[in-house]
Amino acid sequence: MERDGVSPEIEVTVPLELSVEEMIEQSIGRINFTQILQAILVSLPTFFDSQQTFISVFAHAQPTWHCINNTSCTSKSNLCDLPKTNWAWDSVNVHTSIVSEWDLECTSSIFAGMPATSYFVGCLLGGLVLAALGDSSLGRKNLLCISTLVMSLAALASAFSPNIWFYSVFRFLCGVGRAPVAICVLVLLTERVSKRWRAQAAMAGFISFSLGILGLTGIAFLTRGFSWRTLYLWTSVPGIISSVLCYLFLFESPRWLLMQGREKDAMAILRGLGSINSISPSLPKINTEQKLPKTNPFISLKILLSRRWAVKRLLASMLLAFGIGVMYFGMFLGVGNLGFNIYLTSVFNASLSLSSYMLTFLWWIQHCNRRSSLLGFCTLSGATCIIFSVVGKGHLGVVIPLELVSLFCACMAYNLVLMYMVELFPTCVRNSASSLVRQAMILGSVFDPMLVLLGRKSIIYSYGTFGLAMLLCGFLVIWLPETRGKVLCDTMEEQELMDEDGKLSF
């Protein structure tokens, strides 16, 4: 209204310069249906990631056998000491496993474990090569789609392998493709929600991972009388479809877009993810001090390794992750050595893993410190694993409960360390640093297939080693800072300032 012919003064509020964190909190502070759908979509690749990681549990299993036409042959006889004419596989289809199809039952553990080892070596090398691409040229979304597609196509090719050499090559390529999947999913989930919902969003990827193991176990049980190749067909084709769906409908990380200087694209995604009136129509000035040049896809690694505190933090994190990787993957891969039903044990383990994810992200992340929790879980998991490996698989009443306790603690440590890594490093190097830590975890898993095969003679060779690695590496967490309740920094300078203000320097 006008008073005495004079227009009233209108107070104009000029928006202050916003940081990326403030922009995220302002635009998508409240969870909505679109964010839930995006979380489900982005976590879909981990469903197939877990299946390709643990498919060797069933495809490489030692089939059961029986004696024929010879009274000197018994069920306790050493299979390798018997002539081929004195025994036969129980299954009508003798090709239920690569062991029976390619006569691997009496070969060395190195040769028999070559396909599984090739897969984890592929994961290791693929992560080292592809890790930085999610921070630079490709971005989180494109890297996730390409990785899922390569992983699934290589798995499909594995179903048509004529011999163990081709099979090992395809498993290697599958591992290369699979390497960035878990980190891309975790980073995408956590970078597109506010601090309040970060833990719950991350849980979606872990739950999908466990459901993938349950799905794999169900498919393996239903196809147990068929060729192992059928298992690959049922797990690879849906993975190809999921990569296409992600490419068509998945949103890129707005944080990454802002760091690349693509403010308009980031704002469009924030409007799509946020509430209708959550963002002003005008584009505020956003403070992005440290954008990554698009010409060098590995510039994020250079930035990461240029800071002394970051290198020390990275090394400690990688050694910690190495021990957890040896334990976590070894526990799942070694279920056949416990002398219990392999399908039932896999269901128990996957269900336990699923419950650990629910506990971690619905309660533990919000209420408990990262460092003390990791130290406790690593110690308990390693100690119980060593105990039941010494007891031996002849005492199932003792071994199975201790194995479940050890696995549960290993799953909790696995969950916490991945979430911890996201919080330890800023946006400009987060994908690279998290991927390197993840690769250290994969390096630990490279030794698991051979240890599992050695464990068929005595589980102390496998589970004893798993527990010792977990126990020793777990103590390194005391050299890392606590990050509970801290905001996600976007540049190295912001991280250094926060560490200095909070006295979190390494």
* Cα–Cα distance measured from residue 221 to residue 218, given in angstroms and rounded to the nearest whole number: 5
Task: For the beta carbon of residue 172, count every other beta carbon within 10 angstroms.
Answer: 22
Residues 252 and 385 both lie in one domain: no
Cβ within 8 Å of residue 418, ≥6 positions away? 182, 186, 202, 434, 438
- pLDDT for position 157: 97
pLDDT for 29: 58
Alpha-carbon torsion (41, 134, 143, 420), positive or negative:
negative
Specify whether 309 is located in the same domain as 447: yes
**Residues 354, 496 share a domain:** yes
Query: 398 and 332 in one domain?
Result: yes
User: Rounded distance, CA 37 to CA 32, Å?
Assistant: 9
Quickly state the pLDDT bin for 428 (edges 50, 70, 90): confident
State whether 265 and 333 are in the same domain.
no
Whether 66 maps to a domain, the answer reads no
With a cut of 90, say whether residue 55 has pLDDT above it: yes
Quick one: residue 4, left, alpha or beta (phi over 0 = left, psi -120 to 50 = alpha)? left
- Residue ending a domain, among 250, 265, 297, is 297
Residue 94: its pLDDT value, please? 64
Is residue 68 within 8 A of residue 62, CB to CB? The reply is no
| Backbone dihedral angles phi then psi of residue 227, each to the nearest 5 degrees | -65, 150
For 270, counting Cβ atoms within 10 Å of its Cβ (0-12 exposed, 13-18 middle, 19+ buried), the class is buried
Mean pLDDT, all residues of the chain:
82
In the predicted model, what is the mean pLDDT of residues 172-194?
A: 87
Task: Establish if 389 belongs to a structural domain.
Answer: yes
Q: Which amino acid is at 110?
A: I
Q: Which two tokens stand for residue 392?
A: 């031996």
186 plus 324 within the same structural domain: no
In the chain, the amino acid numbered 394 is G
327 and 183 in a common domain? no
pTM of the predicted model, to two decimals?
A: 0.79
Same domain? For 250 and 359 the reply is: no
| pLDDT confidence band for 230 (50 / 70 / 90) | very high
Q: Give me the helices (H) in 285-369, please.
A: 299-305, 308-333, 342-359, 365-367
> DSSP assignment, residue 482?
-
Retrieve residue 271's tokens: 């409007």
Give dist(CA 138, CA 260) in Å, integer.
11
pLDDT computed for residue 489 by the predictor? 80
CB contact set of 5 (below 8 Å; sequence gap of 6+): none
- 240 and 353 housed in the same domain: no
Q: Under a CB-based contact definition with an 8 Å cutoff, are residues 290 and 428 in contact?
A: yes
**Please, which pLDDT band fits residue 45 given cuts at 50, 70 and 90?**
very high
Distance in angstroms (rounded) separating the CA atoms of residues 433 and 435: 5
* Structure letter (DSSP) for residue 172: H
Question: So what's the pLDDT on residue 399?
Answer: 81
For position 264, what pLDDT does the model report? Answer: 84
Is 132 among the domain residues? yes
**One domain, residues 456 and 380:** yes
In a domain, 40, yes or no: yes
pLDDT digits (tens, 9 = 90+) for 236-292: 999 999 999 999 999 998 888 877 778 788 888 887 776 444 444 444 444 444 454
For residues 199 and 329, membership in a common domain is answered with no
pLDDT band for position 7 (cuts 50, 70, 90): very low
Q: How confident is the model at residue 17 (pLDDT cuts 50, 70, 90)?
A: low
User: Is the CB of residue 353 less than 8 Å from the CB of residue 413?
Assistant: no
Helix ranges (H only) for 336-426 are 342-359, 365-367, 370-391, 396-424
CA angle 165, 167, 171 (to 5 degrees): 120
Residue 208 has pLDDT above 50, yes or no: yes
pLDDT value at position 457?
78
Does residue 241 sit in the same domain as residue 331? Answer: no
Summarize the confidence of residues 373-395 as an average pLDDT.
89
Q: pLDDT grade, residue 501 (50/70/90)?
A: low
18 forms beta bridges with 286
| Locus of tokens 């949103």 | 251
**CATH number, domain at 57?**
1.20.1250.20
Q: Which two tokens stand for residue 151?
A: 């992983």
> Is the pLDDT reported for residue 422 higher than 90?
no
Q: Specify if 50 maps to a domain.
A: yes
**Residue at which a domain ends, from 264, 297, 330:** 297
Highest mean pLDDT among 31-40, 126-135, 211-220, 396-405: 211-220
Which domain, by its residues, includes 201? 17-61+92-100+107-278+292-297
Question: Domain count of the chain?
Answer: 2
Report the alpha-carbon distance of residue 136 to residue 144 in Å, rounded.
13
Name the percent of the chain lying above pLDDT 70.
85
The alpha carbon of 169 is separated from its chain's Cα centroid by a whole number of angstroms, namely 22
- In this prediction, what percent of the chain has a pLDDT beyond 90? 32
Task: Report DSSP letters for 244-288, one per residue.
Answer: HHHHHHPPPPHHHHHHTT-HHHHHHHHHHHS-TTSS-SS---EE-
340: left (phi over 0), alpha (psi -120 to 50) or beta: beta
Domain end residue (candidates: 297, 325, 358)? 297
Phi, psi for 74 (deg, rounded to 5)? -130, 170
Structural contact between residues 480 and 374, judged by C-beta atoms closer than 8 angstroms:
no
Closest CA to 329 of 447, 435, 211, 437: 447
- The reply to whether 9 falls in a domain is no
Residue 145 in any domain: the answer is: yes
Q: List the beta bridge partners of residue 88.
A: 66
